[in-house]
Amino acid sequence: MKQCIRVCAVLLVLLVSAPLAQAATPYVSASAGLGLLADSDFTDNTGIVSDAVDYKTGYTVSGAVGLDAGTLRLEAALGYQVNDLDGISGVLGPDPDNTRLDILSLMANGYLDVEVPLSMITPYLMAGGGLANVSFDYGDGNSDDDTVLAYQLGAGVGFTGMPNVVIDLGYRYFATTDFTPEDPFSFTIASHNIVAGVRFGF
């Protein structure tokens, strides 16, 4: 977690000191939505068992601070996602009835807004990278976690209903490098997230 805090501080410094800041509008945003975590491939010292761990539909929330320069936006975002385990096939592992997967992420995101003349709707593309702390919470006070690299790609639309306020609807594909709670065991992590949010400009 200390590493995540350090990275957050670096991202904020870069955002504030970048040339973009001289002509950009600062903003804050918040979003929430469905986290559709894909089945995890489980790897141990004997090989790979496909779709070994599957998850129930979960939820994701995030908050961000950023700079809006018209067609380009840059932001630092803190996100949290929770999915309960639905089942485990072919491997020994945690009890799915009591276990959940938590993902705490810190991302640097870039957005390309496609301006549509005389329209309140602005489509966008986005991409980001950063760190994620992934954890199996076993429901008995014990957990296993690992901090890994993360990235996301997405698209969506923004609706401007009043000055400096934008309602956002979007899709995010979020993935990490393999989550390794304990050597030699590792799991793949990838999620299809559908989110809605609001952005306030200053």
CA–CA distance from 158 to each of 16, 63, 122, 125, 198 (Å)? 24, 16, 5, 11, 9
* Residue 21 in this model has a pLDDT that exceeds 90: no
| Every domain of the chain and the residues it spans | 2-201
**Reported confidence tier of residue 180, pLDDT bands at 50, 70, 90:** confident
For residue 119, what pLDDT band results from cuts at 50, 70 and 90? confident
CATH match of 2-201 with 2.40.160.20: yes
Residue 41 CA to residue 54 CA, distance in Å, equals 9
pLDDT tier at 115 (50, 70, 90 boundaries)? Answer: confident
Q: Could you say which DSSP state residue 90 is in? A: S
Residue 71 to residue 151: CA distance in whole angstroms: 22
The amino acid sitting at 187 is F
Q: Which residues pair with 44 in a beta bridge?
A: 47
Answer yes or no: are the C-beta atoms of 135 and 147 closer than 8 Å: no
pLDDT of residue 138: 82
Residue 63 has pLDDT above 90, yes or no: yes
pTM, rounded to two decimals: 0.84
In percent, the amount of the chain with pLDDT more than 70 equals 80
Which residues, listed in sequence order, are joined to residue 127 by a DSSP beta bridge?
A: 110, 153
| Cβ neighbours, 10 Å, residue 89 | 13
